[in-house]
Amino acid sequence: MSDRALEGLDERQREAASVLRGPVCVLAGAGTGKTRVITHRIAHGVDTGAYSPGRVMAVTFTAKAAGEMRGRLRALGVEGVAARTFHAAALAQLNFFWPQVAKDTAPSIVDNKVRLLGQAADALRMRLDGATLRDVASRIESRKVTMRTIEQDAAARPQGLGRVELGALVDLQRAYEKLKDQRRQLDFEDVLLACAGMLESEPRVQAAVHEQYRHFTVDEFQDISPLQHRLMELWLGDRQDFCAVGDASQTIYSFAGADPRYLLEFADRYEDAHVVRLERNYRSDAAVLAVANELMRGRPGALELVSAAPPGPAPEVRAYEDDAAEADGVAAAVAAQTAAGVDPRRIAVLYRANAQSAPLLAALAARGVAATVLGGKRFFDIPEVRQGLLALRGASVAPVETTFVAAVRDVLRSLGLTDEPPPAGGALRDAWEARAALLRLAEEAPEGTTLRSFTDTLTARAKDQHEPSMRTVTLATLHAAKGLEWDHVHLVGLAEGLLPISYATTFEQVDEERRLAYVGITRAARTLTLSWARTGGHRERQPSRFLREIGTGTLRAVDGRASSAARSRR
């Protein structure tokens, strides 16, 4: 059994999964199978007896990623590994140790930081709008993840915030912290700070954590903040059984404290570190990767991705007259793809800012193409899905006189599922797509599935945030698209002021915008289309500097012309 978990891995993946002791750094490019390596490495450690599952902690940044990791480990026969987000792991330790240390229950968690800030502002007779309060909340989060006090932050950033002068900003933060203390509450960042503080000040707590967890893996290590890194150091103590996995080219959360230097300088920090580079990409064809490689050439930590897929069509760049023409042109291209038999779930339209989604949604709906904006309600929180799950569970207690799939179809039809979908672009179509997704899950279920086992599986998937995709085209910001993939990607708005965005003025900020573009490009498996509009409103635009950096050697220029329908609308 010792090599079971290494089967099916390529040479570099196998190397990364085989090194079970000491500091290990896996530089994993987009689409190179990093989650596969992480889970197979843990499984290999368990199979060989090097790891006890209950003493392994695998940390990542989203509940969805942690749920996927747990699911993959279960499929490999490994149960009991603590696969969690930083916050979930820290909160579990706080809830367990706080009563022992403080002889009291742990504080509750603030459910709405902006609302609490508003109450603190009212107490100071400050009249601030919601947008300003959100900016103050972001400032607080940034301060805490970089481990600065209010005074240190004021010294480092003395410019204040909008119309809130520095002195008032300091007073508001102090009032916010005082209000939290009075209510015995912690905010999201306090959870990490309190856990780190407890480990630093309580030797018996530190000893208990060190005894419990012996082996650590951190996914997306390029996104780790100074606070998270400090907590990781405290969990580790003087041990070095630590595996960091990440890609500096996908650092897109600097605004949230992400610092890629921890990944880039890993080999300097740990002299005996074993570093493995994963550059064989299993997602995208060579033409797509050529665009990605050109964009990142010469950047710190950039990997040279090599395709394992057969060659596909050359990526295109299209220039349109204006934003409406771009939206209509992209919608026409998407409609042509679906008409040719492409599954809508395999198509995505990506953009820099949320505001860009509205004209795209309208243009797609005008062509009868259903679309879903990523980042809306989670699948299992959609009212029609919750209603369907309740109805299916209710039906499962009665004898079933037909096949399992037919029973599911009957229940969903009673709730409004029809054979033909309503027109795209409305709430009725959204509800239909949600119910249709439930039916597809039933149709894909293993032989022998019952209504009861089906609803149990859906409940487990909801807990792990293992969400099915609805049969719609996906619209998403570049931030939301990270970690996902589609066969066909349309990346819009590659113009100066949109990507890079207008407020990216420093070298570091523009570099982050470049990494965002890289993330969008590497989501594409088969086809990639980039586009931009020459005018927006009454302003003329220039093509993004990233298009110039990529060059015409890897992109095929195609004239984007508005359809007659789009011209007549304008």
pLDDT tens for each residue of 411-421: 898 988 888 88
CB of 470 within 8 A of CB of 379?
Answer: yes
The pLDDT value given to residue 558: 65
The pLDDT value given to residue 427: 73
Q: What is the CA radius of gyration of the chain?
A: 25
- Quote the Cα angle for 454-88-515, to 5°: 95
As a whole number, mean pLDDT of residues 349-368 equals 90
The pLDDT value given to residue 423: 78
CB of 224 within 8 A of CB of 177?
Answer: no
469 burial via Cβ count (<10 Å: 0-12, 13-18, 19+): middle
As a whole number, mean pLDDT of residues 106-125 equals 92
The pLDDT value given to residue 281: 95
Q: Is residue 520 part of a domain?
A: yes
Q: Does residue 60 sit in the same domain as residue 206? A: yes
The pLDDT value given to residue 565: 40
Give the bridge partners for 28, in sequence order. 278
31 annotated among ligand-binding-site residues: yes
Band the pLDDT of 373: cuts 50, 70, 90.
Answer: confident
Q: What is d(CA 165, CA 287) in angstroms, rounded to the nearest whole number?
A: 51
Q: Is residue 99 part of a domain?
A: no
Q: Does residue 362 sit in the same domain as residue 436? A: no
φ/ψ of residue 525, rounded to 5: -95, -45
The pLDDT value given to residue 559: 60
Tokens 């589609």 found at? 486
Q: Does residue 481 sit in the same domain as residue 563? A: yes
CB of 492 within 8 A of CB of 326?
Answer: yes
Q: For residues 561 and 424, which has the higher predicted lDDT (pLDDT)?
A: 424
The pLDDT value given to residue 320: 94
Q: Does residue 340 sit in the same domain as residue 388? A: no
Instruction: Please indicate, yes or no, whether the overall pTM of this predicted structure exceeds 0.85.
Output: no
Band the pLDDT of 436: cuts 50, 70, 90.
Answer: confident
> Is the pLDDT at 58 greater than 90, yes or no?
yes
The pLDDT value given to residue 376: 65
34 annotated among ligand-binding-site residues: yes
The pLDDT value given to residue 435: 87
Residue 332 sits in a domain whose CATH number is 3.40.50.300
493 annotated among ligand-binding-site residues: no
The pLDDT value given to residue 568: 41
The pLDDT value given to residue 438: 87
As a whole number, mean pLDDT of residues 186-202 equals 94
Q: Is residue 543 part of a domain?
A: yes
As a whole number, mean pLDDT of residues 64-92 equals 91
Q: Does residue 440 sit in the same domain as residue 490? A: no
The number of distinct structural domains making up the chain is: 4
Token output for 111 = 């459910």
Range of the domain at 414: 379-464
> Is the pLDDT at 117 greater than 80, yes or no?
yes
pLDDT tens for each residue of 500-533: 988 888 999 999 999 999 999 999 999 999 999 9
28 annotated among ligand-binding-site residues: yes
Residue where one domain finishes, among candidates 442, 464, 486: 464
Worst-scoring range by mean pLDDT, 214-218, 329-333, 444-448, 482-486? 444-448
pLDDT tens for each residue of 6-16: 888 999 999 99
Band the pLDDT of 465: cuts 50, 70, 90.
Answer: low
The pLDDT value given to residue 536: 81
Mean pLDDT of the chain: 89
Band the pLDDT of 130: cuts 50, 70, 90.
Answer: confident
The pLDDT value given to residue 570: 39
Residue where one domain finishes, among candidates 430, 464, 498: 464
178 annotated among ligand-binding-site residues: no
Q: Does residue 454 sit in the same domain as residue 387? A: yes
> Is the pLDDT at 398 greater than 80, yes or no?
no
Q: For residues 56 and 375, which has the higher predicted lDDT (pLDDT)?
A: 56
Q: Does residue 480 sit in the same domain as residue 545? A: yes
As a whole number, mean pLDDT of residues 149-168 equals 88
> Is the pLDDT at 157 greater than 50, yes or no?
yes
482 annotated among ligand-binding-site residues: no
Q: Does residue 398 sit in the same domain as residue 451? A: yes
Sheet holding 56-60, edge to edge: 82-85, 56-60, 215-218, 242-246, 24-28, 274-278
Q: Does residue 150 sit in the same domain as residue 69? A: no
Worst-scoring range by mean pLDDT, 52-56, 170-174, 459-463? 459-463
Q: Is residue 97 part of a domain?
A: no
Q: Does residue 389 sit in the same domain as residue 368? A: no
Residue where one domain finishes, among candidates 225, 249, 278: 278
- Residues of the chain with pLDDT > 90, as a percent, come to 58
The pLDDT value given to residue 1: 45
pLDDT tens for each residue of 231-262: 999 999 988 899 999 999 999 998 888 899 99
Sequence-ordered strand ranges (E) for 61-188: 82-85, 108-109, 185-186
Q: Does residue 508 sit in the same domain as residue 541? A: yes
The pLDDT value given to residue 564: 36
Question: Peptide bond before 500: cis, by omega within 30 degrees of 0?
Answer: yes
Q: Is residue 103 part of a domain?
A: no
As a whole number, mean pLDDT of residues 283-310 equals 91
pLDDT tens for each residue of 300-313: 899 999 998 777 88
Q: Does residue 538 sit in the same domain as residue 491? A: yes
Q: For residues 311 and 280, which has the higher predicted lDDT (pLDDT)?
A: 280
Q: Is residue 530 part of a domain?
A: yes
Q: Is residue 102 part of a domain?
A: no
Q: Is residue 96 part of a domain?
A: no
